[in-house]
Amino acid sequence: MLADAVRRVAGMVRSPRATLAGAIANPQPLGLALVIVTISTACSVGFLLTRVGQLAALDQQVRQIESFGTVVTDETYAELRDLVPYRPAISAAVILIGWPVGWLALSGALQYFGNRTGNGHATFAQVLSIVVHASAIFAVRALVAVPVNYARESLGGATSLSMVLPSFSESTFPARLFGALDVFVLWWVVLVALGLSLLYRTRTLPIARWLFGAYAAGAVALALTQALRGGV
């Protein structure tokens, strides 16, 4: 099972269309889901257990609070520092529990709308298999982000568009928008759209537009909130 799951992770990078077609024909996402959360958890927890990771986690919390225009006092900083030892456990819980719950909820929503607007009737297992297979690239992201974060001595943003397009000042709205958009999430959106187009026998682009629109709207809302509260 492990070897097959690893093969499917590689397949989502090298030949996603064929891999998704196989996932639809034989929807068995459990093994792959276990590999994804295991790799992602190990990378996240491993980094947060290092001294560099702990300092990066503290700095991230401070920057997140300050991005909303809130002043971090000495008392607040001390409280944040006391939470640092618990970050590995929190991160593990988010991945091990939050990701599967998110996959199930998203798959239910996509099946609901897909069966009412698409061609044909898809099973929940087929939609879930697409979502999980697309999420294989998050395991790849975890492997990429750890060495980058360690070298930068920072947590978060290692795979955001701001790393690819770093020409804007950090406090500007474009910088915050690009910082909220993750390259691997954009890749994931494309893969989900591709899988749904294969499942419902329709074009990929219209599905991708809806998914990209929802993701972009959330990123714009976050960037606007940070900009307005930050006084930009």
Give tens-digit pLDDT for 86-114. 999 999 999 999 999 999 999 999 999 98
Q: How far is CA 179 from CA 60, 76, 166, 217, in A?
A: 13, 25, 9, 14
Q: Decide if pLDDT at 167 tops 80.
A: no
Residue pLDDT, tens place only, 11-63: 999 999 999 999 999 999 999 999 999 999 999 999 999 999 999 999 988 88
**CA distance linking residue 190 with residue 165, whole number of Å:** 20
pLDDT at 231: 47
Lowest mean pLDDT among 88-97, 125-134, 145-154: 145-154
pLDDT at 36: 96
Query: Mean pLDDT score of the chain, rounded to an integer?
Result: 86
Global pTM reads 0.85
Residue 113: name the closest of 104, 125, 122 by CA. Answer: 122
Q: Higher-confidence residue: 76 or 23? A: 23
pLDDT at 223: 62
Domain ranges of the chain: 2-229
pLDDT at 16: 95
Q: Decide if pLDDT at 64 tops 50.
A: yes
pLDDT at 178: 63
Q: Higher-confidence residue: 210 or 195? A: 195
Q: Decide if pLDDT at 164 tops 80.
A: no
State both tokens at 225: 């909130």
Q: Higher-confidence residue: 136 or 164? A: 136
Find where tokens 């000495």 sit. 74
Cβ pair 185, 208 in contact under 8 A = no
Residue pLDDT, tens place only, 182-209: 889 889 999 999 999 999 998 888 888 8
Residues 6+ apart with CB under 8 A from 21: 198
